[in-house]
Structure 1
Amino acid sequence: MATALITHAECLEHVTPNGHPERVARLEHVLHALQDLDLMRETAPLVDPAHLAYVHPQSHIDAITAAEPTEGFNQLDGDTWMSPGSVNAAFRAAGAVVRAVDLVLDEEVGNAFGAIRPPGHHAETATPMGFCLFGNAAIGAKHALEAHGLSRVAVVDFDVHHGNGTQDLLWNEARALTITSQQMPLWPGTGDPSERGAHDNVLNVPLPPRSGGTEMRAAYEAQVFPRLRDFKPELIIISAGFDAHQDDPLAELQWSTEDFRWLTRQLCGLAAELCEGRVVSTLEGGYDLTALAQSARAHVEELMEAAS
């Protein structure tokens, strides 16, 4: 089966001020890195507002829509900005993940990657933050549960920053297991192992600054993979942030491109073992453009290998 690449040009219309790390060039570099791969290319739809409502109250959806400026920028917090075009970009980003879930669960493709922005894993129930407006991965998980009737979905987030938004959005969802590895200490300051979810459905795996692939692989083998096997998900959603790379300017983990390749291969192998290979991946962080492009390509190449 094929691997789907789901994206939309409107994700490039979400513009941030000069010098902001979450910039248009991120997605441009990812798409350029993937342009020669034999992928099933899909256009991301605008998300149905009912799908946003899986995890966000209408007041949050309305506030984000109203916050889009007609010109210039609107700063929502110290890190999060909107420009003309940001709402449609965010709707396309969430729509890409929903579409990916549909394609994978309807067996039209083996797995899928959403090349989107803005990212989503820091957006909490009613709070945009950390460059994120809506919780893309959590929306995808809830869509799999509610629209497709799955009983168990796992979200694995390997972004260097803790996925506080996904944790918040799925905290009370017993059918969803949220697993995140992150540098600690680091913004946003959440992600302690004591944070376990309302139904023991959260696993946080802090990694110390300056640690590299050896430490990451040991942590995943000791904690993450056994927990996934115990949970037996019917779908694995990956929040694929590539800012744990040793060249990334926003953090201090020392992963290599090959570490992302290894981790993707392992997760796809577990998906083959547990849930017929069903994997949906969505782009989160990664701020060194070269490292981001190389790591995203390695990630997608492993998805393609697993789907073949």
Structure 2
Amino acid sequence: MTTALITHADCLTHVTPTGHPERVARLEHVLHALEPLDLRRVTAPLAAEDDLLRIHPAGYIADIRDARPDEGFTQIDGDTFLSPGSVDAAFRAAGAVVRAVDMVLGGEVQNAFCAIRPPGHHAERETAMGFCLFGNAALAAKHALDFHGLNRVAVVDFDVHHGNGTQDLLWDEARALLITSQQMPLWPGSGRPDEDGAHGQILNIPLAPGTGGAEMRAAYTAQAFPRLRAFKPELIIISAGFDAHQDDPLANLNWSTADFAWLTAELCTLAQELCQGRIVSTLEGGYDLNALAAATRAHVQELIKAAT
């Protein structure tokens, strides 16, 4: 079996204003870092509206389409912008995770990494925010549940910022376990342990500023991994944000590239134990270009090891 890399050039046409941290160069650095690796390279399709309707209402999808500028930028909130290419990029990002789920559950590949932007885990049901337009990880989960008929899917989000959007979109979904670690306090301010979902199926793991790899490993070993084993997911989805890296400019955790490799390897081991190794990972944050490239490469290398 192999690992799929799913991406599209349209994701490079989502342009943000000069100085914005979520910039085209992020994906360029990621793709360059992954270029030498042995991956099955797949072109991301555009998501169908029916796919997006699993997580967003039709009016919201129409509003995003209508906000696309002919030139320049449309500002959605303080840090979320649309350029002329942003809507196509967002539909490709959503299409990538749908294709990844189809390939993994169809047995075409063991696991998949979606190298996409804009990211998705801050997008709520009717609100774009935090650089995000559509909830990609939640969409992957709902597609696996509703289209493929799985009974249990887990989402693990290790981005440094809380995945408030994924939490919002999966709050009432008893079939989806969401495990998310995040620096606290930090924007967007959510992610307390008592935010545990309508069915107790959400586990928030707040990490204090300065938390390093040893503390992260202990927290995941004590809290996250037992919950995954108890839930017995049939697919694991990873919201792979790399902004907990010690070099990232937007936060204050102190993980190393080796820590991301360790966490990925542990999740791959659990996937082998629980769900035939089936993992879909999708790119979220990470804003130091060199750290992002190195950590993403380490993450994908562990996926490749698990697939061979």
Q: So what's the TM-score if we normalise by structure 1?
A: 1.00
Shift of the alpha carbon at 1:294?
0.2
Q: Which residue of structure 1 aligns with residue 199 of structure 2? A: 199
Amino acid at match of 1:218: A
Matched position secondary structure for 2:238:
strand
Shift of the alpha carbon at 1:6?
0.1
Shift of the alpha carbon at 1:279?
0.2
Q: Which residue of structure 2 aligns with residue 287 of structure 1? A: 287
Number of aligned residue pairs: 308
Shift of the alpha carbon at 1:184?
0.3
Cα offsets for 1:158-201 (capped at 9, x unmatched): 00000000000000000001110000000000000000000111
Q: Which residue of structure 2 aligns with residue 33 of structure 1? A: 33
Q: Which residue of structure 1 aligns with residue 152 of structure 2? A: 152
Q: 2:48, 2:278 → 1: CA distance? A: 23
Equivalent runs, 1:1-308 vs 2, <5 Å: 1-308=1-308
Matched position secondary structure for 2:100:
helix
Matched position secondary structure for 2:119:
coil
Matched position secondary structure for 1:177:
strand
Cα offsets for 1:205-260 (capped at 9, x unmatched): 00000110011000000000000000000000000000000000000000000000
Cα offsets for 1:135-178 (capped at 9, x unmatched): 00000000000111000000000000000000000000000011
Amino acid at match of 2:16: T
Shift of the alpha carbon at 1:17?
0.1
Matched position secondary structure for 2:180:
strand
Q: 1:49, 1:303 → 2: CA distance? A: 30
Amino acid at match of 1:91: F
Q: 2:226, 2:68 → 1: CA distance? A: 43
Cα offsets for 1:3-27 (capped at 9, x unmatched): 0000000000000000000000000
Q: 2:174, 2:48 → 1: CA distance? A: 24
Please report the RMSD computed on the Cα atoms of aligned residues, expressed in angstroms: 0.3
Matched position secondary structure for 2:117:
coil
5+ residue gaps, structure 2: none
Q: 1:59, 1:210 → 2: CA distance? A: 41
Q: 2:249, 2:231 → 1: CA distance? A: 35
Shift of the alpha carbon at 1:61?
0.3
Q: 1:74, 1:258 → 2: CA distance? A: 38
Q: 1:305, 1:26 → 2: CA distance? A: 24
Q: 2:166, 2:51 → 1: CA distance? A: 15
Shift of the alpha carbon at 1:60?
0.7
Shift of the alpha carbon at 1:263?
0.1
Q: 1:199, 1:62 → 2: CA distance? A: 31
Amino acid at match of 2:17: P
Q: 2:142, 2:165 → 1: CA distance? A: 14
Q: Identity across aligned pairs (percent)?
A: 75
Amino acid at match of 1:49: E
Amino acid at match of 1:167: Q
Q: 2:268, 2:158 → 1: CA distance? A: 14
**Aligned structure 1 segments of 4 or more residues deviating by more than 2 angstroms:** none
Q: 2:289, 2:91 → 1: CA distance? A: 24
